[in-house]
Structure 1
Amino acid sequence: MDGKRSGESDVMLQEINYVPTRTECSDNQQLKAENNVKRSDTPFLWFVVLTVILLMLVGCTSFGWASPAVIKLKSENPEVNPLGRPITTVEISVLAGMPVLSSLIGSYMIPRLADIVGRKTSLQITAIGMFASIVGIAFSSKIYLLIISCAILSNLFAGTWGILPIYLTEICEDHNRTKFGCLMSACIPLGQLYCYVFGPPFSLKYFTLITAAPLLPFFALFLFAPESPVYLLSKGKKEDCMKALMKLRRNKSKTELEIDFDRIKLSLRDTMDTKPDLTALVKTRESRIGLLISMMPVSGQYLCGVPVMMSLLAPIFNESSTLLSGNMIAVIVGVVKLLTFIITSSIIEKTGRKPMLVLSSVGSGISTLVIGLYFYLKYINSVFIEKLQWLPIASVFLYIISYSLGLGPIPQCVPSEMFLPHQRSTAQAFISAYANALYAFYLFVYPLLAEAIGSYSCFWIFSGTCFAGAVVFYYVMPETRGKSILEIQEMLKRY
């Protein structure tokens, strides 16, 4: 039986005879016309996607780990606090800041590993490193060991953040790549919710080990996942590329698989001898435009005020005289974010990227404007403040839903669409480093700005950047829904 399948694969590969026509554009139009039938996603593709995003889930728990962890580290009870003493304010600052700084290195260096050893292997390497660093965090009894372990975890996760979208893009098709990309982004609220649920009832050691639990099925199940077909063909492994396509798209005929193979080959043409470095991102017009377009949603994501909004959830709900505990508030917000992320992933291929980003920016702008107004009325001791206690909580939920419809899930999906295969790892590394630098700058500037001009003014600035982002997305952001990578490249050349 295996010999028969191998023979069929050989015949299939021998029948693929790619003959380039006059231009890449005409080639792409021809292939698109021949392969315009959208097949449903195969169970195996779902299996691979759900398996690989387990790695993203574990990494995203780092976003919520600090909230319950710092409470335990402040305790004087040695059974709760592994340090044996309360953590100091300076140590908390270092524990929060050092991982962010270290992620700048990982976000730039580690994604380049994907071009050397492959997308799948590089994800397995980072997963092993993340597991080891989480174990190190769990058993750290000294503050310097805790900081070093957290920095290593942040470094490796930053690299994973750059590699995983590339892998998803290259195993998916034009009609489903953003859907699965948004599903990957849903791991952000899911990871935070994971920490809110398991953080309070367990000790720091067991809580930290629980965050690594999803890696166990990942290690076992990801062995059955194929390497990226694009990477395989870029290394000249034609037969392995076709086998990967056959596994991922079992519901396609031999002719349709051959067309998919040809499209990958066409996207790799004239790039096999190109060295993947930063200069490759500025050599051509389409790569320069693609870089700028990739930076736009990332900038909108970080400048909309989401880190500040998340940190002020408890005070806002407390001022609204709610009877809910801080942890219950976090769980409710996490569930709302998760559900909205999932809804976005299910409709994104029908609505398109641009409308969702515009809608998300406008909704976020309105909610931050209202919250800024509430804080201003509180600052001037307005008589209306007691009658408006419901306003901030309503605005927070509007903000969470608006953010989760676009600015939250979509920015991670854009860079892998804008570049050819040989540029993706370098582009993702640059965008990830840019995002981490922007986030570090954000954390440094906001406390100073809030003290100088007031938190209400900061929220009005967030509102202004959201509305400005909506205008930029509407007039500048191209729509890539249903377009192949080559079609996007042709569009960028004329942009």
Structure 2
Amino acid sequence: MSKTSCNWILYLSTFTANLFFVSYGIMLSWNTPVLLKFRSDNNEINPLGAPLTVFQLSLCTSIFPFASIFAGLLVTKMPDIFGRKRSMIYIATAGLLCFIGLAFVKNVWLYCSIYMLTCISVSGGIVVVPTYVSEITETKNRGSLSSIVAVAATVGQLYLFILTPYTDFKMLSLCCGMPFLIIIILSFFIYESPILLSMKGDTDGALNILKKLRRNVDPSKLEDELREKEKMLVTNDKKSALKVLFKTSVGRKALFIALLVRSLPSFSGFYVILSFFDDFLREPTNISVSSNTLSIFIICFKMFSSSLISLYLDRFGRRIYLLSGCIVYSAATFGMGMYFLCKNNNMYIPEAVKFVPIVLLFLVSLGYMLGLAGVSFTVVSEILPNEARAVGSGFAACIANLVLSAIAVSYPYIDEYFGLQFCMFMFTVPLIIGFFLIFFYVPETKEKTFEEIKCLLDKHRT
């Protein structure tokens, strides 16, 4: 292992930024325990005083993806205006205040308002993080450190499910605000992105930060690294981010790839599966193990698989994970669709097959971790031109969340009128299409500098 990989300040900076993804993981699974509490008629469990109506339940389910659309629009320019580090502090402060506000709500409409602001804060943070992490890491470890987002998101989900049996809604909300508090504290010990300083003309400051992030590295190599990034910036310093994305061939190709890999997780329906995890696990299996326990097992499996993927991402590359993730996920959802097709049509299902939904849920989680979670964020942070990365990633996130909102709103109606099997088949088709689009149009970015990726896109067909 190289000495640079043991640089504690680099890992502390990456860890601090990725705490946003811990909060993101919490929000992904937030509806599972919270909506169960809100559907209860026990006032000691339900802080709202009365169970949610069907309309209120639908509204609460769709708030997170809907709010994420606004986050992509509101936060897109923040990293360039305030800086990566200061933007993270501002967003974390807003998120912490929102979680404190959630703890004391007694009205469903007040809850929806504060919950939306919380979701905007969480989604805004994950717009900033990939840009920051990709700019502080080296070419050889950029993939591994960037893909840790999948591990962090899984930690957030596990944290939520472990807390759920032992906390009421008030304490659960306060505990879920802890990642934001830790971000604020640790932000005093990390550095601003050297690329941002270089963009603003502070070459000496950028080089000084690079020396701290790349300890025991020859200073001449650091100067070469900074010079390479400055060269890329100077090439397009007079072009606006939107002009780079839409008016240049490289920008259009990069934006297409970013939209593809960021939209596939939304089309996969994984958020909907997480939102109704409890019902999903309980209804088809009829086994004695509680759904919360099964959820913890599945999330632990996700954490283990995402950790391995993060560890070996820079060894095997991005494409193999994207492609294999599409294959595993689409096969698992197709299997789920066939299971529910048989079940809902009263076809004979052997006793030995009753555990199939659980096995397939593990495979769904594996497929999502392989190519739809952290790897997609890594590819977006690498593929977009540096001068338009913040805008491009925000735009891709906005489109992805628009897709996610549509799926979240339509899912209950499709389930009600067409059956759960149709939902599973609906999630399968986009992943199959995504497999072929990735195979033909997404180049490998492993161990490529940003300038090399730019040249690769210029030659690659899309």
- TM-score, structure 2 normalization: 0.94
Q: 1:72 to 1:55 in 2, by over 3 A?
A: same
Task: Confirm or deny: 8 A CA contact 1:377 1:385 kept in the other structure.
Answer: no
Q: Distance in 2 between matches of 1:226 and 1:461?
A: 44
Task: Confirm or deny: 8 A CA contact 2:3 2:216 kept in the other structure.
Answer: no
Please name the residue that 2:348 is paired with.
383
Matches within 5 A, 1:373-452: 373-452=338-417
Amino acid at match of 2:360: S
Q: What's the CA shift for 1:301? A: 1.8
Amino acid at match of 1:75: S
Q: What's the CA shift for 1:105? A: 1.4
Task: Confirm or deny: 8 A CA contact 1:178 1:349 kept in the other structure.
Answer: yes
Q: What's the CA shift for 1:84? A: 3.0
1:359 to 301, 308, 324: 324
Secondary structure class of the residue paired with 2:77? helix
Q: What's the CA shift for 1:225? A: 0.7
Q: 1:458 to 1:139 in 2, by over 3 A?
A: closer
CA RMSD of aligned residues (A): 2.0
1:294 to 258, 263, 266: 258
Please name the residue that 2:193 is paired with.
228
Please name the residue that 1:86 is paired with.
51
Please name the residue that 1:12 is paired with.
none
Amino acid at match of 2:11: W
Q: Distance in 2 between matches of 1:123 and 1:62?
A: 18
Matches within 5 A, 1:325-344: 325-344=290-309
Aligned length, in residue pairs:
458
Please name the residue that 2:177 is paired with.
212
**Structure 1 residue 303 corresponds to structure 2 residue 267:** yes
Task: Confirm or deny: 8 A CA contact 1:287 1:419 kept in the other structure.
Answer: yes
Q: Distance in 2 between matches of 1:312 and 1:154?
A: 20
Task: Confirm or deny: 8 A CA contact 2:319 2:438 kept in the other structure.
Answer: yes
Per-residue displacement from partner, 1:334-392 (whole Å, max 9, x unpaired)? 11111111111001111111111111111112212221111122123222343421322
**Structure 1 residue 40 corresponds to structure 2 residue 42:** no
Amino acid at match of 1:124: I
2:107 to 142, 154, 170: 142
Q: Distance in 2 between matches of 1:363 and 1:426?
A: 31
Q: Distance in 1 between matches of 2:419 and 2:22?
A: 35
Matches within 5 A, 1:100-139: 100-139=65-104
Q: 1:376 to 1:343 in 2, by over 3 A?
A: same
1:254 to 219, 222, 230: 219
Q: 1:182 to 1:386 in 2, by over 3 A?
A: same
Q: Distance in 1 between matches of 2:425 and 2:58?
A: 27
2:153 to 188, 193, 202: 188
Amino acid at match of 1:228: S
Amino acid at match of 2:437: V
Per-residue displacement from partner, 1:244-279 (whole Å, max 9, x unpaired)? 101110120111111112112112113333333x33
Task: Confirm or deny: 8 A CA contact 2:88 2:125 kept in the other structure.
Answer: yes
Q: What's the CA shift for 1:451? A: 4.1
Between 134-143 and 280-289, the greater mean CA deviation after superposition: 134-143
Q: What's the CA shift for 1:403? A: 1.9
Q: Distance in 2 between matches of 1:84 and 1:467?
A: 45
Matches within 5 A, 1:277-288: 278-288=242-252
Q: What's the CA shift for 1:319? A: 3.1
Q: 1:122 to 1:330 in 2, by over 3 A?
A: same
2:117 to 147, 152, 155: 152
Q: Distance in 2 between matches of 1:59 and 1:368?
A: 24
Amino acid at match of 1:279: K
Q: What's the CA shift for 1:189? A: 1.8
Task: Confirm or deny: 8 A CA contact 1:378 1:385 kept in the other structure.
Answer: no
Q: What's the CA shift for 1:441? A: 1.1
Amino acid at match of 2:265: Q
Q: 1:93 to 1:228 in 2, by over 3 A?
A: same
Aligned structure 1 segments of 4 or more residues deviating by more than 6 angstroms: none
2:37 to 29, 54, 72: 72
Q: 1:385 to 1:299 in 2, by over 3 A?
A: farther
Amino acid at match of 1:471: F
Q: For structure 1, list consecutive stretches of 5 or more residues without a partner in the other structure.
A: 1-36
Amino acid at match of 2:261: P
Task: Confirm or deny: 8 A CA contact 1:38 1:175 kept in the other structure.
Answer: no
For the pair shown, the structure with the greater C-alpha radius of gyration is 1
- TM-score, structure 1 normalization: 0.88
Task: Confirm or deny: 8 A CA contact 2:127 2:390 kept in the other structure.
Answer: yes
Task: Confirm or deny: 8 A CA contact 1:369 1:459 kept in the other structure.
Answer: yes
Secondary structure class of the residue paired with 2:85? helix
Secondary structure class of the residue paired with 1:256? helix
Q: What's the CA shift for 1:117? A: 1.1
Please name the residue that 1:3 is paired with.
none
Q: What's the CA shift for 1:317? A: 5.0
